[in-house]
Structure 1
Amino acid sequence: MSALLEVEGLTAGYGAAAVLHDVSLSVRTKQIVAVLGANGAGKTTLLRALSGLLPAERGRVVFDGLDLRGVKVERMVRHGIAHVPEGRGVVTELTVDENLRLGSLWRKPRPSNDGIYELFPALARRRDHLGHQLSGGERQMLAIGRALAAEPRLLLLDEPSLGLAPKITAQIMALLRDLRDRTGLAVLLVEQNVRSALSVADEGLVLSLGRVVSRNDAATLAGDADLRHAYLGF
């Protein structure tokens, strides 16, 4: 099966300081690829470069035949890419329902939020609450739900478990697996919780100092004790 997202030789950073060095990866439809590594490895920078928030210095990024170099973020969303950044970014002055409607703003006719509420029953019970009234877990659900409201084919998801209780993390990971199997959603998952990420991922790649040091199927990475001890901390 051909790749939905193909990245070749990506180099990117901030100003004169390159953070990513010659990174290559691919993600197919109906596949979860976990991006793993220590703090400072370049994981968040990778997602920012792929979603157009950070310009690439060199390399090639192609999504479903579209060369993403210089493409505006709005066009990426229309083409089927959604990015959930680290930090549960929601508009705290808007209600849950209004936040979700932001995600589908460009779709005509605009779909209802019923499908998102089916995925996240906790949000359905809080639909009229403002963003600042939600718990951390509810905010993360809302951030993911808003991205899914755009009906993406590729979800870029940055640290969804950060600061959450294990039960909520397990629910989010189970949802990603279900969406992959049921809808064909592709996911590029940045995650510090290595065990949790590898439990749902099909493949994983390990970054160290902005370079890919390993890529393999999730089970092989989880079973490689030397790699885990050297780069993943367990």
Structure 2
Amino acid sequence: MSELLRVEGLTAGYGAAPVLREVDLTVPAGTIAAVLGANGAGKTTLLRTLSGLVRPSAGRVLLDGRPLTGVAVEKLVHLGMAHVPEGRGVVAELTVEENLRLGGLWRRDRADANKALAEVYELFEPLAKRRRSAGHQLSGGERQMLALGRALVARPRLLLLDEPSLGLAPKVTAQIMALLRQLRDRTGLTVLLVEQNVRSALSVADTGVVLALGKVVVATSADRLRDDEELRHAYLGF
């Protein structure tokens, strides 16, 4: 299985104090990697650094072997990386369709952009029914679908997904996780998933990375994290 994402010695933070400390990890293409850990462990900072929103003070990030240090945020989308931040950020005043089209504005192949839009509506039937509704009229689950759909319209190879279950009902969370598995299996999408709901994350992930105080303390298969009682008690609290 080929490697899509490699992180080597990544150190980053806000101001003088680092949040991430010499983080190493790899994510094979076509897999889901769950990033787990307590609040303040550095999970969101990791995604923000990978997507160019936080500048690292040391280390490097490679996407399919290409170094990303210094690459502009908008260029990362062209290279195949999409980031869905925590909070289901959508443009509240725009309609569902307008929000989705924002995800593909940079693409020159309009026919394929329209095809990608149709695929998102097929994946998310509630959005298809509400394509003329404004973002502020959607439920929390629908807004999460919209945020995901907007990222998928760009046809990413690597999806960075931060806390998709936050504030959602268990049924909706299960639907989101099932969709991630479906995208991995059907399209080969690679996902780096930050998630507080450990059980949900491990139910769909292939590998798990546990952060503590900005460092990787465990990197192993999701099955081992789920089944090893000692590891779970030590790092995941259940």
1:6 and 2:16 correspond: no
Out of 193, 196, 199, the residue aligned to residue 189 of structure 1 is 193
Q: What TM-score comes out, normalization by structure 1 length?
A: 0.98
Alignment size in residue pairs: 234
- Show the 5 A alignment for 1:57-72: 57-72=57-72
Equivalent residue for 2:95? 95
CA distance in 2, matches of 1:205, 1:160: 17
Corresponding letter in the other structure for 1:139: R
Deviation at 1:108, TM superposition (A): 1.3
**1:231 CA displacement:** 2.0
Letter in 1 for 2:120: I
The one-letter amino acid paired with 2:181 is: R
Partners of 1:126 and 1:231 lie apart in 2 by 41
Quick one: which amino acid aligns to residue 156 of structure 1? L
Deviation at 1:230, TM superposition (A): 2.3
Distance 1:129 1:52 in 2: 32
Q: Which residue of 2 aligns with 1:21?
A: 21
Q: Aligned partner of 1:66: which letter?
A: R
- Of 58-67 and 127-136, deviating more is 58-67
> What are the superposed Cα offsets for residues 83-107 of structure 1, whole Å, 9 maximum, x if unpaired?
0000000000100000000001111
Cα separation, 2, equivalents of 1:158 and 1:93: 23
- Partner SS, residue 57 of structure 2: strand
Equivalence map 1:69-148=2 (5 Å)? 69-110=69-110, 111-112=113-114, 113-148=117-152
What residue identity is the alignment partner of 1:50?
L
Instruction: Verify: 1:53 aligned to 2:57, yes or no.
Output: no
Q: What's the offset of the Cα at 1:109?
A: 2.1
Deviation at 1:2? 2.9
1:227, CA displacement in angstroms? 2.1
Matched with 1:44 is: 44
Q: What is the CA–CA distance in structure 2 between the aligned matches of 1:216 and 1:22, rounded to whole Å?
A: 18
Q: Percent identity?
A: 72
Q: Which runs of 5+ in 1 are unaligned?
A: none
Structure 1 runs of 4+ off > 3 angstroms? none
- Measure the CA separation in 1 of the matches of 2:54 and 2:230: 33
Secondary structure (helix, strand or coil) at the match of 1:4 reads strand
Q: What is aligned with 1:198?
A: 202
**Please, what is the CA RMSD of the aligned residues?**
0.8
The one-letter code matched in structure 1 to 2:210 is: V
Distance between the aligned counterparts of 1:79 and 1:88, measured in 2? 23
* Cα offset, 1:58, TM superposition: 0.4
The one-letter code of the counterpart of 1:228 is R
Q: Distance in 2 between matches of 1:109 and 1:216?
A: 40
Q: 1:60 Cα shift?
A: 1.3
State the SS of the aligned residue for 2:3: coil
SS class of match (2:94): coil
Match of 1:160 in 2: 164
Partner Cα separation in structure 2 for residue 192 and residue 29 of structure 1: 23
1:226 to partner: Cα distance: 2.2
Given residue 179 of structure 2, which amino acid in structure 1 is its aligned partner? L
